[in-house]
Amino acid sequence: MADVALVTGAGRGIGLELCRQLLDRGWTVVACPRVTGSPELAEIARADPSRLHEVPLDVADDDSVAHGAERAAALVDHIDVLFNNAGIFPRENGTLEQLDLGSVFDAFDVNAVGVLRVTRALLPLLRKGHAKRVIQMTSLMGSLRDNSSGGSWAYRLSKAAMNMVTRNLAHELGPEGFVCISVHPGWVRTRMGGEGGRLGPRTAVEQVLHVALAAGREANGSFKGPGSVDLPF
């Protein structure tokens, strides 16, 4: 049975690089950008159209997620690893009094609730897979214990919620053999991470894949950083 992964947020950055490296490893990939039109993703698809399937999917839209799950089920008969990679980082650095609460709701809808939408919709395909892995691309900025500076309200709160989603998924799906983990890729030079990032996408994704694919049942519900280091929730 072929190894199959589904990647959300696949149109650019870490998601695009995940698709590229998984294909290089011989995987079949269902690549789910929010919208079609990524020239980089199209280039990858042209190189190996039999193993890369593009399925547009907006994790913040119920109908889009349902349609994306239907399309995925028509293309593959199982999914081994789900990479919940889609995310947003609202650029707000103001005080509580200046905070736009709309940005907080938007971040929660994509970064946390989006994980629930996608994982629930794809659960039938995940249950048919042999690896049964659900990987959340999170951030150390979602760690309660590591928060020493405050700020970035929407992003911090939504990533902390995402980490709680991981723990709940681990409790609920662990008895079925699932491994559900949150992975912090480091500060990566992408459009979201900015030019100050310490890692390029290639190096970051190499580390993410090592963590995600090597983790055993004992890692279920954990928060991992580069090198499989356990991070504080």
Q: Which H or E run includes 7?
A: strand 4-8
In a domain, 76, yes or no: yes
Task: Report CA-CA distances (Å) from 50 to 2, 7, 160, 197.
Answer: 12, 17, 37, 34
Q: What is the domain range of residue 148?
A: 4-228
Give the total number of structural domains in the chain.
1
Q: Which of 155, 156, 193, 215 is catalytic?
A: 155
CATH number, residue 49:
3.40.50.720
Give exposure, 110-148, as e/b (b: 16+ Cβ within 10 Å): bbbbbbbbbbebbbebbebbebbbbbbbbbbbbbeeeee
155 included as an active-site residue? yes
The reported pLDDT for the residue numbered 47 is: 84
Per-residue tokens: 36: 């079609």
- Give the burial class of 20: count Cβ atoms within 10 A of its Cβ; 0-12 exposed, 13-18 middle, 19 or more buried: buried
The reported pLDDT for the residue numbered 1 is: 73
In a domain, 172, yes or no: yes
The reported pLDDT for the residue numbered 94 is: 82
Per-residue pLDDT tens listing for the chain (233 residues): 789 999 999 999 999 999 999 999 999 999 999 998 889 999 998 988 899 999 999 999 999 999 999 999 999 999 999 999 999 999 877 889 999 999 999 999 999 999 999 999 999 999 999 999 999 999 999 999 999 899 999 999 999 999 999 999 999 999 999 999 999 997 676 665 556 556 778 999 999 999 999 999 999 999 999 888 999 98
In a domain, 233, yes or no: no
